[in-house]
């Protein structure tokens, strides 16, 4: 009989992160379906993305502190169950903007748990005494890759089912519910990494994250963080809008393709970040921001020529920027954090990354006063300024190699 110990502990916890990420992103490629079949306005469809962030931020900031007090496993179980509730609301609420908004809010809360608690948990399970053979960057690479695969496959499967499968407004969410139920037994077997003790101070004091004032956090991590999911938001929420008039009946399939290509590229690049860090002399974040600037430049050109082929190429570049930046940022977070505030600081970091995911909403609002070419050009200038800040701070101290 095979021993349960043959499964590395981090692989018992990783499926929970995967399904929570799946549930966070399977809605994104369906935006065109809600606009065309549900008759929601473009602004309302983008607001559904905004409600996701509304749920995500408290999930990131509160769940980490709760897990430091009560453990990683209980919070992860709660995150999976919240994700199931979100999919139930989304599956049944096609004609109700209120149900869709609440479903997206809960989906964001679930992903917030995955990103703060799950990332910290996998990092802890990727080192002694749980894993003595993991590389130095495994604690950043494993959760980032798990989340990226969940985001990408969730969007790919949901988009494919909505384009060609039965019951397009329901089936994508049923798949997520089934997968979430299947991972719970694995989650139950995963070891807890937080020592069992009764906290003696008020919970609100646990929310304080003093290291968020660390010089390297403020001057290196913070300016680069919003571009992580800013890259994703541009690639698979804005690019499809720019070329939708050229796609005929395949808008949904094309949006799905861009989502999968963006996150797939990110997944392929992430295992190479340690090598990129060595080659660049410990400046992987600078490399990620440089690729991001190139991606925004391609976005400006796409806004001018409205080419689906160029939009696809732009998604590849932005996916690479996402993949490099998310792992490099986590490596920096884990470098400056302590075990007591790892989850909290990770939550603050991911909160900043998701500011970028609001770009499609902001652009939809501003489109009445400026076209996408102008908005993208302004964004490129902002990206250049952030790259200058990150480069200056990165050269002051070498990152871990």
Tokens of 171: 């089936």
pLDDT, mean of residues 241-256? 86
CA dihedral for 21, 27, 28, 29, sign (positive or negative): positive
pLDDT, mean of residues 307-326? 96
Please tell me the distance from the alpha carbon of residue 144 to that of residue 326, in angstroms, as a whole number: 7
Q: Where are the alpha helices (DSSP H) in 134-250?
A: 138-164, 171-189, 203-206, 215-216, 222-224, 226-233, 239-243
Q: Where are the alpha helices (DSSP H) in 237-307?
A: 239-243, 251-269, 273-279, 284-305
Please tell me the distance from the alpha carbon of residue 175 to that of residue 163, in angstroms, as a whole number: 15
Which letter does DSSP use for residue 209 in this model? -
Q: Taking every pair of C-alpha atoms in the chain, what is the biggest distance, in angstroms?
A: 67
Question: What does the pLDDT read at residue 400?
Answer: 43
pTM, two decimals, is 0.82
Please state which CATH number belongs to domain 7-190+211-394.
1.20.1250.20
Question: What does the pLDDT read at residue 347?
Answer: 83
Lowest mean pLDDT among 155-169, 201-215, 277-291, 316-330: 201-215
Shortest CA distance to 291 belongs to which of 327, 342, 259? 327
pLDDT, mean of residues 261-282? 91
Question: What does the pLDDT read at residue 201?
Answer: 61
Please tell me the distance from the alpha carbon of residue 350 to that of residue 201, in angstroms, as a whole number: 26
296 in Cβ contact with 217 (< 8 Å): no
pLDDT band, very low/low/confident/very high, at 200 (cuts 50, 70, 90): low
Please tell me the distance from the alpha carbon of residue 221 to that of residue 174, in angstroms, as a whole number: 37
Which letter does DSSP use for residue 340 in this model? T
At 335-347, the pLDDT tens digits run 888 777 777 888 8
Question: What does the pLDDT read at residue 4?
Answer: 47
Residues in Cβ contact with 156 at an 8 Å cutoff, skipping those fewer than 6 apart: 29, 256, 259, 260
More confident residue, 4 or 106: 106
More confident residue, 241 or 79: 79
The gap between the terminal CA atoms of the chain, to the nearest Å, is 41
**Backbone torsion region of residue 105, taken as left when φ is above 0, otherwise alpha when ψ lies between -120 and 50, otherwise beta:** alpha
CA dihedral for 208, 128, 9, 399, sign (positive or negative): positive
pLDDT at residue 3 tops 70: no
Please tell me the distance from the alpha carbon of residue 252 to that of residue 275, in angstroms, as a whole number: 36
The ranges assigned to domains in the chain are 7-190+211-394
Question: Given 3-state DSSP classes, what are the helix, strand and coil percentages for the chain, each rounded to the nearest 5?
Answer: 80, 0, 20
> What are the C-alpha distances in Å from 282 to residues 15, 288, 391, 400?
31, 12, 11, 6
Question: What does the pLDDT read at residue 88?
Answer: 98
236 in Cβ contact with 258 (< 8 Å): yes
pLDDT band, very low/low/confident/very high, at 212 (cuts 50, 70, 90): low
Tokens of 184: 């719970």
pLDDT at residue 43 tops 80: no
More confident residue, 306 or 282: 306
Burial of 284 (0-12, 13-18, 19+ CB in 10 A): buried
Tokens of 384: 């250049």
Which letter does DSSP use for residue 339 in this model? T
pLDDT, mean of residues 33-60? 84
């Amino acid at each position: 009989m095979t021993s349960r110990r043959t499964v590395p502990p981090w692989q018992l916890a990783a499926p929970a992160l995967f399904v929570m990420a799946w549930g966070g992103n399977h809605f994104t490629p369906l935006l065109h379906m809600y606009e065309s079949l549900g008759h929601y306005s473009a602004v309302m469809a983008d607001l559904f993305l905004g409600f996701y962030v509304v749920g995500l931020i408290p999930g990131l900031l509160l769940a980490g502190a709760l897990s430091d007090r009560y453990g990683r496993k209980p919070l992860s179980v709660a995150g999976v169950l919240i994700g199931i509730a979100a999919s139930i609301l989304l599956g049944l609420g096609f004609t109700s903007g209120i149900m869709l908004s609440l479903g997206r809010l809960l989906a964001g809360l679930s992903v917030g748990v995955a990103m703060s608690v799950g990332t910290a948990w996998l990092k802890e399970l990727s080192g002694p005494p749980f894993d003595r053979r993991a590389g130095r960057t495994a604690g950043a690479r494993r959760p980032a890759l798990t989340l990226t695969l969940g985001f990408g496959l969730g969007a790919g499967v949901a988009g494919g089912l909505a384009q060609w499968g039965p019951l397009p407004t329901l089936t994508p969410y049923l798949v997520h519910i089934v997968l979430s139920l299947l991972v719970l037994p694995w989650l139950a077997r995963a070891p807890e990494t937080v020592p069992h003790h009764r906290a003696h101070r008020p919970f609100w004091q646990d929310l304080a994250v003093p290291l968020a004032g660390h010089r390297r956090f403020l001057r290196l991590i913070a300016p680069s963080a919003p571009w992580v999911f800013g890259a994703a938001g541009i690639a698979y929420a804005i690019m499809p809008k720019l070329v939708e008039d050229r796609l005929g009946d395949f808008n949904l399939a094309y949006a799905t393709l861009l989502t999968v290509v963006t996150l797939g590229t990110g997944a392929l690049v992430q295992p190479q970040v340690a090598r990129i860090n060595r080659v660049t002399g410990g400046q992987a974040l600078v490399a990620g921001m440089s690729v991001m600037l190139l991606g925004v430049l391609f976005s400006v050109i796409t806004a001018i020529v409205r080419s689906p082929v160029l939009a696809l190429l732009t998604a590849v570049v932005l996916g690479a920027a996402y993949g490099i930046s998310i792992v490099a940022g986590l490596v920096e977070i884990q470098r400056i954090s302590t075990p007591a505030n790892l989850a909290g600081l990770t939550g603050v970091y991911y909160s900043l990354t998701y500011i970028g995911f609001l770009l499609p909403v902001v652009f939809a609002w501003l489109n009445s006063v400026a076209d996408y070419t102008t908005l993208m050009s302004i964004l490129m200038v902002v990206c250049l300024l952030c790259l200058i800040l990150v480069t200056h701070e990165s050269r002051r101290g070498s990152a871990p190699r």
